[in-house]
């Protein structure tokens, strides 16, 4: 009986990993003093790095206006992300631990928040260890499909002319 439960659990985890890998979350960038509009797409690449690590990509296309200067910023920020965070259980473990350091990323739990129709969402901070040109705060809600990120705050540190700026986005309805 224990073997059957273990096999079913493994199948469920593998199914959630493959289902998650094929979906993209689309966010609309929130307008501020520099950012006029934009889109952020967050996805897990289909090719896993290993069974414990997946590659998460943040693809952005943002229109920035600074004085008389207007520029479209396009790019992709990729990070090897622990596969534990593809399920709610990983966030619950992180909540208990507080902060975890993995090979290429530091993930810190910043508490739980309520966002519109979603309660009990996990607010986490992701800091890449080797890529110093960005970091971010993500709000994970388990009732949102795919990766479950309802809100994102990405601090881009290497924008031409401007330097550093924080970009806020929310899940496209």
Return the pLDDT at 47. Answer: 61
Q: Locate the domains of the chain by residue range.
A: 2-171
Instruction: Give, for all 173 residues of the chain, the pLDDT tens digit.
Output: 444 333 333 333 433 444 444 478 888 898 888 888 899 988 887 666 566 788 888 888 888 887 777 888 888 888 888 888 888 888 999 999 999 888 888 999 999 999 888 888 999 999 998 888 889 999 999 888 778 888 999 888 877 667 788 888 888 87
Alpha carbons 152 and 169: distance in angstroms, whole number: 5
Return the pLDDT at 9. Answer: 38
Return the pLDDT at 45. Answer: 75
Return the pLDDT at 18. Answer: 40
Alpha carbons 127 and 86: distance in angstroms, whole number: 17
Return the pLDDT at 112. Answer: 93
In 3-state terms, the chain is what percent helix, strand and coil (to 5)? 20, 55, 25
In this structure, are strands 99-101 and 69-82 parallel, antiparallel, or unpaired?
unpaired
Which one, of 70, 73, 36, lies nearest residue 58 by Cα?
Answer: 73
In this structure, are strands 24-29 and 35-44 parallel, antiparallel, or unpaired?
antiparallel
Return the pLDDT at 111. Answer: 93
- Reported pTM: 0.78
Return the pLDDT at 107. Answer: 92
Return the pLDDT at 36. Answer: 86
């Amino acid at each position: 009986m224990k073997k059957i439960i273990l096999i079913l659990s493994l199948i469920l985890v593998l199914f959630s990993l493959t289902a998650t890998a094929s979906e993209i979350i689309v966010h609309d960038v929130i307008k501020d003093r520099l950012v006029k509009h934009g889109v952020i797409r967050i996805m897990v690449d289909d090719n896993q790095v290993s069974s414990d690590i997946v590659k998460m990509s943040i693809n952005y296309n943002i229109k920035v206006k600074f004085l008389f200067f207007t520029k479209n910023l396009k790019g992709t920020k990729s990070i090897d992300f622990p596969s534990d965070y593809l399920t709610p259980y990983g966030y619950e473990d992180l909540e208990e631990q507080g902060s975890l350091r993995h090979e290429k990323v530091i993930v810190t739990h910043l508490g739980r928040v309520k966002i519109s129709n979603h309660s009990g969402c996990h607010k986490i901070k992701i800091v890449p260890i080797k890529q110093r040109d960005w970091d971010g705060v993500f709000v994970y809600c388990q009732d949102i499909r795919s990766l479950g990120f309802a809100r994102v705050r990405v601090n881009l540190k290497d924008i031409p002319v401007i330097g550093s700026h924080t970009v806020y986005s929310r899940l496209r309805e």
